[in-house]
Amino acid sequence: MSRLQSKTAIITGASSGIGKATAERFSTEGAVVICADIKKDAVKEVVDHINKQGGQAYAYHLDISNQDEVMKFANEMKEKFGTIDILFNNAGTDTEGGRLHEYPVELWDKLMSVDLRGTFLVSKYLIPLMLEEGGSIINNSSVSGLAADLDRSGYNAAKGGITNLTRAMAIDYARNGIRVNAIAPGTIETPLLDDLMGSKAGKKFREAYKWVDPMGRLGTPEEVAGVVLFLASDDSSYVTGEYVTVDGGHMAYTWPGKMLNEKL
């Protein structure tokens, strides 16, 4: 039997990258997949593809930073499905902002609003649909929530907040049968990489990254989706309040050493 047979799963930020790969993987494992994203046309394409492959998926437009929209979405989920089994808080954004004294306040507010507040809002209004039967929540944090990046203090703070919010949610709802865990991806091959750096700089980054990553390459969305599937399924039934790094071993060392000058 498929690991998510007859489960109902909600994925935010499902139009591309990790969210898209997870939606497709969940579908192949038997789940009914609700794909929510601020990019209306793109998320519809993902859903159309899943349905053509024989799955069952639904597309919803959602700005996770907008409380009214999240409340409306949660009400629609209750009316249509009654309960949900899995929530993957994947949606987020990232932008370089400079050193802290140079950091634009409006950028700080945007990152907090989307990445941290959005995770809070979606969880707050959808958890009631899990209280009776339990379920699994997976929050998308980042290795940037465990260590810091140059000129990205807002992103670091937001993702660090998600990591500890995950722990708080886990202990709040453990007796309700709701498990809450986080993933902490490293640099993954998604459209966001080129959006942040531009295609030319992105190409140079990919070439350089193989010298500082123990596995010598970027991760793929499908590899992250496999970890999300584990946390969503009963295979992780005694795991809660944890974060799992998916980074090719990047967080396992303090200095790349010989990786900088020797072929892998």
CATH of the domain at 151: 3.40.50.720
Enter the pTM of the model.
Answer: 0.94
Alpha-carbon span 61 to 37, nearest angstrom: 5
**Can you give the pLDDT at residue 258?**
77
Q: Is the pLDDT higher at 218 or at 194?
A: 218
Is position 83 within any domain?
yes
pLDDT in tens, 87-125: 999 999 998 899 999 999 999 999 999 999 999 999 999
Task: Indicate whether 192 pLDDT > 70.
Answer: no
Alpha-carbon span 94 to 226, nearest angstrom: 23
Q: Is the pLDDT higher at 34 or at 198?
A: 34
**Can you give the pLDDT at residue 227?**
98
Is position 134 within any domain?
yes
Is position 213 within any domain?
no
Concerning whether 238 is annotated as a catalytic residue, the answer is no
**Can you give the pLDDT at residue 256?**
78
Instruction: Report the chain's mean pLDDT, rounded to a whole number.
Output: 93
Give the domain extent around 229: 8-191+220-259
Task: Indicate whether 199 pLDDT > 80.
Answer: no
Looking at the chain, the whole-number percentage of residues with pLDDT higher than 70 is: 94
Is position 180 within any domain?
yes
Is position 26 within any domain?
yes
Q: Considering 125, 155, 173, 243, which one is annotated as catalytic?
A: 155
Mean local confidence (pLDDT), 240-256: 92
Whose structure tokens read 């007859």? 6
Task: Indicate whether 1 pLDDT > 70.
Answer: no
Is position 211 within any domain?
no
**Can you give the pLDDT at residue 213?**
85
Task: Indicate whether 246 pLDDT > 80.
Answer: yes
pLDDT in tens, 135-159: 999 999 999 999 999 999 999 999 9
- Determine whether 6 is exposed, middle or buried from the number of CB atoms within 10 Å of its CB (0-12, 13-18, 19+): exposed
Alpha-carbon span 164 to 158, nearest angstrom: 10
Is position 86 within any domain?
yes
Is position 199 within any domain?
no
Which neighbouring-strand residues pair with 137? 87, 180
How many structural domains does the chain have? Answer: 1
Task: Indicate whether 195 pLDDT > 60.
Answer: yes
